[in-house]
C-alpha cells in the first residue's frame, strides 16, 4: 500500500525475513520471493497508454501498475492516500492536497505540485477527452508550494476524490510527455511513478513493464517484469493458463462456463468478490412502447432473474436490487419488488405487447437475450431480438432509437458514478430518457454532501424510486475475479477489478 511509514516497516520486516536463514515465524502467506516474470492475459488490446485519451476499461489494468494516482482505494473501497499523503476541504469548493515528498518519475524528474498542476491542466484544456466530464467540477489548480496543491471547484463534488483514484488523478512526468511528443501515447517512456516502468509495446502481441528500482515504496515491487498479452478468446485464455503461457487472467477473461473447471484444477486459484458493475437492459422511458410504466413493470415482474443468473452466468453473479452493488457503502439490502418472477402479476400490469431488444453480438449476450425472450413469452410479452454490434447499439441508444438494449455498466467506485449519469434527467448515459424530479433532487443533493452519513439515505431513497419506476431492468452484478496459477501469491482482490501487482510475488 501507499503509506510510506507502514510500507517501510513491512518492507524491512519481510526483507529481513527473506534474508534470515531458515526458521522464524514470518507472515502467514509465506516468504515473498523477489524476482520473476508474471504473464498476464488482457481481455482485449489497448488503444493508448495515455490516460488523457483512454476510453477503454482494459487500459486501466496496465496504467495502475505504471502510473500512480493522487489517491487509491482499499478492499472496502475507502479512499486512501496515494501520491497525496493527506487532503482536506478548506471549504466546500476548495480541496487541498499534501503531496508525498521524495518521489521521482521513471525518467528521474521530480514529482511535485507543478507536475500535478500540469496534468490536471492538461485534462481541463484538452479539446476532447473522456477525463473532462470526470473533472467537470474542477475550475482550476493552484500550486501553493512544491508539495501542496489546491483544487478550486466550481461547486461541491463528493465524487471527485473517487474520480482521482482512476485515470483523471494519474500524474505523469511533464518532461516525458513533452519529450514523447505525438507518439507519447504509444511510447510513454519514463512517464510514471509506479512500481513498474514501461519497456516496450508490440501491438496485438505483448506489452512489457519492468521493475522500478527506485519505487517510492521500499522493497516493492517483488516481480522483475510484467508481460501483458491480449487474448480475446476465453477458450484460448483458459488453455494458456493451463499450459503456463499465462500466470493470471483478469476479470471476465475466462468465460463463466469454464470457472468450474478452473476451481477443480489444483494448479489454479480462483477467488471472486462482487464487483462494481450492474447488468440488465436499459429501457426507453422517453418514447415508444416503454413510455408506458405499466409495460416496464410487466417486463420487470415477468423476468426470472435467478434462472438467468444460473444458466447464463453459472451463479457467479449476484442478484441485483438496483444500480448499487453489495460491495458499496451505499448498498441498500432492502427487498425490492422485482427480485423474483411473478408472471400473473406481470400479466395484470400489461400483456400482449412486443418490443425490440437490441443485443450485442457476443455469445453470452445472445444466450441471455434468448432466455429473456423465452421467459417474457410466458407472460404474453414478445421480445424481438436484434443482434447488432456493440458500437451500433451505443449509437442508436444515445440517439434514443430503441425500445430496450442489453447494455450494462462497468461501475464506478463512488455511488454517484453508478447513478447520476444514468438516471439524472439529461445524464450522459441516460439513453432511456428517464426523468423523475424527485430522483434528480436526491442525486444532486447526494453529490454535494460531503459525508457518507448524509449521502446514504439520499441514495437509498433514489434507488427505491428509480427501481420502482423501472428506469432500468436490473438483473445482476458481476464479480471481480482472480483467476491465476497457484504460483501467484499475495494478490489482493478489489471490487474495481484492477489487478495491482506491487505486492504480488511469484514462487
Partner 1 sequence: MSTVYSPSLPEDVAETPVSQPTSLRALLRTYPRVAVASGLLILLVLVSVLAPWIALHDPTATDASNALLGPSAAHPLGTDELGRDLFARVIWGSRVSLPIAFVAVAVGLTVGGAIGLTAGYRGGLWDLLLMRVIDAILAFPALILAIAIVAVLGPGLRNAMIAIGIVQLPVYARLMRAQVLSLKGLDFVAAARALGASPMRLIARHILPNLLNPLIVQISLSAAAAMLAEATLSFLGLGAQPPTPDWGFMMNTGAQFLNNDPWLALGPGLAISIAVFAFNWLGDALRDALDPRLRG
Partner 2 sequence: MLQYLVRRLALMVPVAFLVSVAVFSLIHLTPVDPAELILGEERSPEAVIALRHELGLDRPLPDQYVTWISHALRGDLGRSIRTNQPVTKAILERLPATLELGTAALAWSVLLAIPLGTIAALRRGSPIDVLATGFTIAGVSVPNFFIGILLILVLSVDLRLFPPGGYTPLTESIPDNLHRLVLPAITLGTVTTAINTRFTRSSMLEVLRQDYIRTARAKGASWRQVIVGHALKNALIPVVTVVGIQVGAILEGALVTETIFSWPGVGKLAIDSIFGRDYPIIQGIVLMIAFSFMLANLAVDLAYAWLDPRISYA
What cell numbers appear for 313 in the block? 452466468
* 66, 228 Cβ separation under 8 angstroms: no
Q: How far apart are CA 154 and CA 142, in angstroms?
A: 14
Distance of CA 91 to the CA centre of its chain: 29
Which of 370, 410, 441, 492 touches partner 1 (CB under 8 A)?
370
Binding segment for partner 2 (CB under 8 A), chosen from 69-77, 124-132, 192-200, 475-483, is: 124-132
47 lies in the binding site for partner 2 (CB under 8 A) = yes
Task: Please choose which of partner 2, partner 1, none residue 258 contacts, taking the beta carbon within 5 to 8 angstroms, the exact cut-off set by kind.
Answer: partner 1
451 lies in the binding site for partner 2 (CB under 8 A) = no
Binding segment for partner 2 (CB under 8 A), chosen from 129-137, 214-222, 266-274, 291-299, is: 129-137
**Ramachandran assignment for 108, one of left (phi > 0), alpha (psi -120 to 50 degrees), beta (any other):** left
Least CB distance from residue 232 to partner 2, whole Å? 8
Neighbour-count burial for 213-247, b at 16+ CB within 10 Å, e otherwise: eebbbebbbbbebbbbbbbeebeebbebbeeeebb
If you compute the radius of gyration of the chain from its CA atoms, what whole number of angstroms results?
Answer: 24
Kindly report the backbone phi and psi dihedral angles of residue 339, in degrees, each rounded to the nearest multiple of 5, phi listed first: -80, -25
236 lies in the binding site for partner 1 (CB under 8 A) = no
Scanning residues 157 to 196, which ones bind partner 2 (CB under 8 A)? 185-186
Least CB distance from residue 13 to partner 2, whole Å? 40
Show the binding pattern over residues 384-413: x = contacts partner 1 (CB under 8 A), - = does not: -xxx--------------------------
Q: How many residues bind partner 1 (CB under 8 A)?
A: 22
* 98, 86 Cβ separation under 8 angstroms: yes
Q: Which is nearer to partner 1, 224 or 258 (CB)?
A: 258
Scanning residues 278 to 307, which ones bind partner 1 (CB under 8 A)? 307
Scanning residues 242 to 281, which ones bind partner 1 (CB under 8 A)? 255, 257-258, 261
The beta-strand segments (E) located in 256-326 are 268-274, 279-283, 318-319
**What percent of the chain is helix, strand and coil (3-state, nearest 5)?**
35, 20, 45
Strand 71-73 to 479-485 pairing = unpaired
* 237, 258 Cβ separation under 8 angstroms: no
Which of 140, 377, 392, 452 touches partner 2 (CB under 8 A)?
392
Task: Name 288's Cβ contacts closer than 8 Å, sequence gap at least 6.
Answer: 355, 402, 403
Q: Which is nearer to partner 2, 27 or 44 (CB)?
A: 44
Task: Please choose which of partner 2, partner 1, none residue 366 contacts, taking the beta carbon within 5 to 8 angstroms, the exact cut-off set by kind.
Answer: partner 1
Best CA proximity match to 337, nearest among 172, 470, 207, 447: 470
152 lies in the binding site for partner 1 (CB under 8 A) = no
Q: How far apart are CA 23 and CA 92, in angstroms?
A: 54
Helix (H, G, I), strand (E, B) or coil at 162: helix
235 lies in the binding site for partner 2 (CB under 8 A) = yes
Least CB distance from residue 81 to partner 1, whole Å? 44
367 lies in the binding site for partner 1 (CB under 8 A) = yes
448 lies in the binding site for partner 1 (CB under 8 A) = no
Least CB distance from residue 325 to partner 2, whole Å? 17
Show the binding pattern over residues 48-87: x = contacts partner 2 (CB under 8 A), - = does not: x-----xxxx------------------------------
356 lies in the binding site for partner 1 (CB under 8 A) = no
Binding segment for partner 2 (CB under 8 A), chosen from 173-181, 278-286, 388-396, 471-479, is: 388-396
Kindly report the backbone phi and psi dihedral angles of residue 50, in degrees, each rounded to the nearest multiple of 5, phi listed first: -105, 115
Q: Which is nearer to partner 1, 363 or 428 (CB)?
A: 363
* Alpha carbon separation from 215 to 60, 194, 221 (Å, rounded): 20, 7, 8
DSSP per-residue letters across 176-202? HHHHHGGGGGG--TT---SSEEEEEEE
94 lies in the binding site for partner 1 (CB under 8 A) = no
What cell numbers appear for 157 in the block? 463534488
Residues in contact with partner 2 by the rule CB under 8 A: 45, 47-48, 54-57, 127-130, 132-133, 185-186, 203-205, 231-233, 235-236, 239-240, 243, 245, 361, 389-392, 394-395, 398, 409-410, 428
Residues in contact with partner 1 by the rule CB under 8 A: 235, 238, 255, 257-258, 261, 307-308, 310-311, 361, 363, 366-367, 369-371, 373-374, 385-387
Amino acid at each position: 500500500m501507499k503509506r510510506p511509514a507502514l510500507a517501510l516497516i513491512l518492507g524491512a520486516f519481510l526483507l529481513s525475513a527473506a534474508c534470515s536463514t531458515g526458521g522464524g515465524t514470518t507472515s502467514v502467506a509465506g516468504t515473498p520471493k523477489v524476482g520473476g516474470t508474471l504473464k498476464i492475459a488482457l481481455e482485449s488490446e489497448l488503444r493508448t497508454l495515455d490516460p488523457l485519451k483512454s476510453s477503454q476499461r482494459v487500459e486501466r489494468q496496465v496504467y495502475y501498475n505504471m502510473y500512480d494516482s493522487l489517491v487509491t482505494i482499499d478492499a472496502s473501497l475507502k479512499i486512501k492516500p496515494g501520491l497525496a499523503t493527506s487532503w482536506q476541504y478548506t471549504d466546500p469548493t476548495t480541496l487541498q492536497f499534501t503531496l508525498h515528498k521524495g518521489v521521482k518519475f521513471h525518467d528521474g524528474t521530480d514529482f511535485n505540485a507543478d507536475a500535478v498542476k500540469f496534468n490536471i491542466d492538461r485534462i481541463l484544456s484538452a479539446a476532447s477527452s473522456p477525463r473532462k466530464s470526470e473533472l467537470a467540477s474542477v475550475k482550476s489548480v493552484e500550486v501553493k508550494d512544491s508539495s501542496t496543491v489546491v483544487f478550486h471547484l466550481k461547486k461541491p463534488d463528493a465524487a471527485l476524490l473517487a474520480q482521482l483514484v482512476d485515470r483523471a488523478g494519474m500524474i505523469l512526468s511533464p518532461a516525458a510527455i513533452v519529450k514523447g511528443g505525438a507518439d507519447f501515447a504509444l511510447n510513454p517512456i519514463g512517464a510514471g511513478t509506479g512500481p513498474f516502468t514501461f519497456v516496450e509495446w508490440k501491438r496485438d502481441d505483448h506489452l512489457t513493464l519492468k521493475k522500478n528500482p527506485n519505487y517510492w515504496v521500499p522493497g516493492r515491487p517483488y516481480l522483475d517484469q510484467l508481460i501483458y498479452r491480449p487474448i480475446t478468446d476465453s477458450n484460448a485464455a483458459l488453455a494458456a493458463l493451463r499450459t503456463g503461457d499465462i500466470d493470471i487472467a483478469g476479470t471476465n477473461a475466462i468465460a463463466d462456463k469454464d470457472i468450474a473447471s478452473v476451481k477443480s484444477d489444483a494448479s489454479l486459484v480462483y477467488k471472486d468478490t462482487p464487483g462494481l458493475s450492474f447488468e440488465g437492459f436499459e429501457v426507453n422511458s422517453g418514447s415508444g412502447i416503454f413510455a408506458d410504466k405499466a409495460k416496464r413493470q410487466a417486463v420487470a415482474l415477468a423476468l426470472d432473474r435467478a434462472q438467468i443468473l444460473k444458466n447464463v452466468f453459472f451463479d457467479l453473479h449476484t442478484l441485483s436490487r438496483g444500480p448499487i452493488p453489495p460491495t458499496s457503502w451505499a448498498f441498500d439490502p432492502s427487498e425490492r419488488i422485482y427480485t423474483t418472477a411473478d408472471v400473473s402479476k406481470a400479466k395484470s400490469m400489461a400483456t400482449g405487447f412486443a418490443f425490440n431488444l437490441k443485443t450485442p453480438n457476443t455469445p453470452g449476450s445472445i444466450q441471455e437475450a434468448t432466455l429473456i425472450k423465452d421467459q417474457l413469452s410466458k407472460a404474453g410479452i414478445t421480445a424481438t431480438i436484434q443482434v447488432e454490434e456493440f458500437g451500433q447499439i451505443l449509437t442508436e441508444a444515445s440517439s434514443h432509437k430503441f425500445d430496450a438494449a442489453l447494455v450494462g455498466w462497468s461501475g464506478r467506485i463512488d455511488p454517484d458514478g453508478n447513478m447520476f449519469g444514468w438516471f439524472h434527467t439529461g445524464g450522459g448515459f441516460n439513453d432511456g430518457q428517464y426523468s423523475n424530479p424527485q430522483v434528480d433532487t436526491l442525486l444532486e443533493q447526494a453529490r454535494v454532501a460531503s459525508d457518507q452519513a448524509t449521502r446514504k439515505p439520499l441514495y437509498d431513497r433514489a434507488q427505491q424510486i428509480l427501481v420502482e419506476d423501472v428506469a432500468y431492468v436490473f438483473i445482476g452484478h458481476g464479480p471481480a475475479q482472480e483467476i491465476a496459477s497457484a504460483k501467484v501469491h499475495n494478490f489482493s482482490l478489489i471490487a474495481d477489478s484492477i489487478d495491482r501487482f506491487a505486492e504480488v510475488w511469484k514462487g
